A and B are shown apart, each in its own frame.
Chain A
Amino acid sequence: MAYRRVTRRRLFILAGLALALVFSMALDVSVGPAGLTLPEVVRAIVMPASVPDQMAVVLWQIRMPVAAMAVVVGAALSVAGAQMQTILNNPLASPFTLGISAAASFGAALVLAFGVAIVPVALDYVVPLNAFIMAMLASLLIHGLTMRRGVSVQTVVLLGIALVFSFNAALALVQYLASAEALAAVIFWTMGSLGKASWPKVALVCALLVLILPIFARRAWALTAMRLGDDRAASFGINVARLRLETLLLVSLLAAIPVAFVGTIGFVGLVGPHIARLLIGEDQRFFLPASALSGALLLSASSVAGKMLLPGAILPIGIVTSLVGIPFFFSLILSNAKRPW
């Protein structure tokens, strides 16, 4: 039957994406200035006690957290972008449309330039915590405002744009008042970097994905129906307003935490879902995992490419995701006969 054939093809594509991701991760872990051979890498991962300390440190404390972070952050941003595009019914929507990344950058800049911490907590986590709090404040603001005035898509998007401009202006003000070193630190933060990866952070983002993906999965058919338009979806008995608000909150959470940890990594949240859509289509049951996988693959491949482009130095990952993703995206759009959107 045609349905079975289509489903089988989609599962095939999902498997293909997963395989590519595994390959990319393996590459990410094997490539690096330390010049370790593949057997050494495998041995260091499987039996860390049997290799010299330095090698174990390189693998477990430097390379693997970065590789794992690329995967979970890529997946989180891409899923967030997918749902954003679904509920806002807009191909240009990304997890940052509602001002999350702008707010997070502002929060981080406050700490880096003035030492102002919103919650006076100790040491290492001040910058991510500040960034996260500002990001959630932004999304809660939109949530609160739209609950009062009704949740038409235009209202939400306009409010989001207003917030983006406001926070960008505030960030510019902070940059203007900052000292030279603080300014460099702020700019570096806004360019995004996987270098800040550590196992606790990876675990947190992973936990987030594990918690939120099932929630989306349960609403899969409702979200798919949203793509038919508000009226059609309502005629199916879906509470469109509530679904939209709930999804917005979840998306904010899903985007704010990775951004708080690694800075602003643009492009993944916008293009990951489109790649998934071009490959697999709009059905949420397949679209959701495909978005996660393609986002993870995009960021992981960028991490590898970044290491190869400038060996030894660290290239801000946001630059690389664009360089890697754009050609691929172009080729997908131009090669596909049917219009995907």
Chain B
Amino acid sequence: MIRILARLWLAVMLPWLQPTLAAGAAEPITVTDAAGRQVEVQQPVERVILGEGRQLYILAALDRENPFARIAGWRNDLKEADPETWHAYLEKFPGAAAIPSFSGLEQSLIDIETAVAQKPQLVFLNLETKRATEEARYVETLAALGIATVYVDFRHDPERNTEATIRNMGRLLGREERAEALIAFRAEEIQRVTDRLAAAKPAPPRVFIDRAAGFYEDCCHSFGSGNFGALVEQAGGMNIAKGLIPGTFGQINPEQVLVADPDQVIVTSGDWRAYSPAGKWVPVGPGADQGAVQDRLAYYPTRPAYSGTNAQKAGAFHAIWHQFYNSPYQFIAMQQLAKWFHPQLFADLDPDETFRQLHRRFLPIDYRPGYFATLGGGN
């Protein structure tokens, strides 16, 4: 009797069991992420959570037709740090405004409730959040719900991690070809600088990087050996703050700048009207007004810290978009820096054109120049 009932039960339940048995038929992919973890991700990946909004910079190159199609949720740092680019994307893809977003700094946790509620298959987390995420055990929580976590990095150690990150993202989203094309383009453009520098070995000019100019009242905040500091060194310059600042960010005594006698001063800035209306920032960025940029840049040679320096005598002041320090498009900044440091060696290099090509070949939005400026005009 019981056996008959059991068989009857099985017969009734079988149709319901079938789908569960059939699931998992799509091949999962295993990638090694930026933290060195082996992660298995179910395919196809249709919904992702971006732990940092600026991951869009790469995603847009892979999902060119509609970068937001797969984004189920993201951090709102892109909207805050790079509003001009955000508006450019919003114009083309108005639906992006409806994507759920959460706030927080680079190294803070994502909003896990939002993330889970969107039922993604995959969450991309930046390497900066790793410590907080491990403490909060988010990876385990997400894994229990079948959501994979992949660490990406294009900022912390760009030389080692950017290519692998782009490749991983390409594999996971089924866009390997585009990922390889982007990697090749980037590598080629970087090599145009590094190869020539290695061959010619020109004497590096002494460079002072005026960090986040316009945010601070007092002078001489700069980068140590990380971030823009590393970029300057790679572009064939000598960062005078390198041995002095222990970490990545710090402040130099204005006297020290004077004594170090920089040949060139790079001002990293942006349109910070919203944060520091009275500050002396230089509004470089996409679509910048060159007249306004020149006006603001003209203040810098008058700073006491630069008086009598080579840079002041030659008027060698340049402004560059501050957000490059956070962007996978950093290689373009490196090209521009190299061109400023060694104009004869890189006379045929046109970073604006490189950036334009990047937009034309890979990105869905148009290139709007204005990211770089030199005092007195002309790049």
Q: Which residues of A contact B (CB under 8 A)?
A: 32-35, 52-54, 57-58, 61-63, 111-115, 117, 122-124, 126-127, 179-185, 188, 193, 195-196, 307, 310-314
Q: Are A314 and B278 in contact (CB under 8 A)?
A: no
Q: Are B308 and A182 in contact (CB under 8 A)?
A: no
Q: Are A180 and B258 in contact (CB under 8 A)?
A: no
Q: Least Cβ distance of A325 to chain B in Å? A: 22
Which of A117, A185, A312 contacts B216, CB < 8 Å?
A185
22 A/B residue pairs, CB under 8 Å, sorted by A? A33-B256, A34-B255, A34-B259, A58-B255, A112-B215, A114-B274, A115-B273, A115-B274, A122-B278, A124-B217, A127-B217, A179-B80, A179-B275, A180-B105, A181-B275, A182-B215, A188-B251, A195-B254, A311-B244, A312-B256, A313-B252, A314-B252
Question: Cβ of B81 < 8 Å from any Cβ of A?
Answer: yes
Question: Cβ of B167 < 8 Å from any Cβ of A?
Answer: no
Q: Are B275 and A115 in contact (CB under 8 A)?
A: yes
Q: Are A115 and B252 in contact (CB under 8 A)?
A: no
List 9 tightest A-B contacts by C-beta distance, closest first.
A54-B308, A312-B244, A33-B256, A312-B256, A195-B218, A196-B218, A314-B251, A61-B304, A115-B277
Which A residues are CB-close (under 8 A) to B259? 33-35
A179 to B108, CA, bound (A): 13
Q: Which of B80, B216, B243 has the most CB of A within 10 A?
A: B216
Q: Are A313 and B308 in contact (CB under 8 A)?
A: no
Q: Are A314 and B308 in contact (CB under 8 A)?
A: no
Q: Least Cβ distance of A256 to chain B in Å? A: 17
A127 to B215, CA, bound (A): 11
Q: Mark B232-260, 1 if CB is under 8 A from A, else 0.
A: 00000000000111100111111110110
Q: Least Cβ distance of B314 to chain A in Å? A: 16
Which B residues are CB-close (under 8 A) to A313? 244-246, 250-253, 256
Which B residues are CB-close (under 8 A) to A33? 253, 255-256, 259
Nearest opposing residue in chain A for B270, CB measure:
A181
Which A residues are CB-close (under 8 A) to B106? 180
Given A33-B259, A35-B259, check contact A193 B251 (CB 8 Å): yes
Q: Are A195 and B251 in contact (CB under 8 A)?
A: yes
Q: Are A195 and B219 in contact (CB under 8 A)?
A: yes
Given A61-B304, A313-B245, check contact A54 B254 (CB 8 Å): no
Question: Cβ of B307 < 8 Å from any Cβ of A?
Answer: yes
Question: Cβ of B212 < 8 Å from any Cβ of A?
Answer: yes
Q: Are B255 and A32 in contact (CB under 8 A)?
A: yes
